[in-house]
Every structure is written in C-alpha cells, then in structure tokens.
Amino acid sequence: MRYVYPAIFHPEEEGGYSVYFPDIARGATQGETIVECIAMAEDFLSLALYSMEEDKETVPAASGAKEVTAESDDIITLISVDTDDYRRYYENRLIKKTLNIPMWLNQKAEAANINFSQTLQKALKEELKLSAS
C-alpha cells in the first residue's frame, strides 16, 4: 500500500528538527539535517502505518498539504511510503529455497556440521554488502 502524508519539520532551538505528522497520533521523530529528517520521517511513517495495518486499525485519511497549518518557520512537506515494501524488507519469515551443489561439497559440509541455511544467509549478506545482523 502506498501512502502520502504531510509532515511538519519544526526547527528546534538547540538545532535540528522535530518531525510530526498531523494525521498520525503515534508520536514523532527528529533529525539533525533535512536529509536525516526525511529518512527518519519515512521510517516513522512506514512503521506507524504498518502497525495500524497489522493491528487491523483504520488508517486515517491524509490531509492535503494545503490543509495543514504550521508555525511560520516550520517546513511542511509530503512524505511517501509503501508499507508493502516496508513489510517485505523487515519481515524475517523464513522461506524454503532449493539449490544444487556438488555431492563432494555436500559430503564435506555435512561432515563438518555446517549449517547450510546460516552459511547461505551469511554469504548472501556479504555478497549484497548488508550488515551481518
């Protein structure tokens, strides 16, 4: 599901910005730079909407950007997220894959008590340059 919601970036006295969504009553986020705030806002909004979908709550309608009121030094911008993408990225459900390796390699790996799933996951993460978590 793709959503677009207005966000308000409020400059803080000590620096950075607090970011909140007038239509989402689940908290706020913050960042030091506009770029960081946009990334944090996307993550916050994705998680909030994903949680509502999972909990079978009604997702509130988004206000139009021109309907949102803010203080004079605030920045109003639209943030777009896709909860299906978020779900796919963060869902850690295991899936079964079939693969082929030479018999001799299989025998050596089994003799060494190598966990094929863990080894494949580690190799894929290294190949994709992802964190080891």
Confidence band of 101 (pLDDT split at 50, 70, 90): very high
Where residue 97 falls among pLDDT bands split at 50, 70, 90? confident
Output the DSSP codes for 9-61.
EEE-TTSSEEEE-TT--S-EEEESSHHHHHHHHHHHHHHHHHHHHHTTPPPPP
Q: What is the pLDDT of residue 132?
A: 57
Q: Cα(76)–Cα(64) distance, rounded to whole angstroms?
A: 11
Confidence band (pLDDT; 50, 70, 90) for 94? confident
Please tell me which residue, 89 or 48, carries the higher pLDDT value: 48
Chain segment 22-31, per-residue pLDDT in tens: 999 888 999 9
What predicted TM-score, i.e. pTM, was given to this entire model?
0.70
Domain architecture of the chain: domains with CATH:
2-90 (3.30.160.250), 94-133 (no CATH)
What's the pLDDT score for residue 88? 85
Q: Are strands 28-31 and 2-11 parallel, antiparallel or unpaired?
A: unpaired
Tell me what the pLDDT averaged over the chain comes to.
92
Which value, in Å, is the radius of gyration of the alpha carbons in the chain?
A: 22
Task: Please compute the mean of the pLDDT values over residues 96-112 and round it to a whole number.
Answer: 92
DSSP 56-97: TPPPPPPPPGGG----TT-EEEEEEEEHHHHHHHH-------
| Those residues with Cβ within 8 angstroms of residue 68's Cβ, 6 or more apart along the chain or in another chain | 6, 8, 22, 76
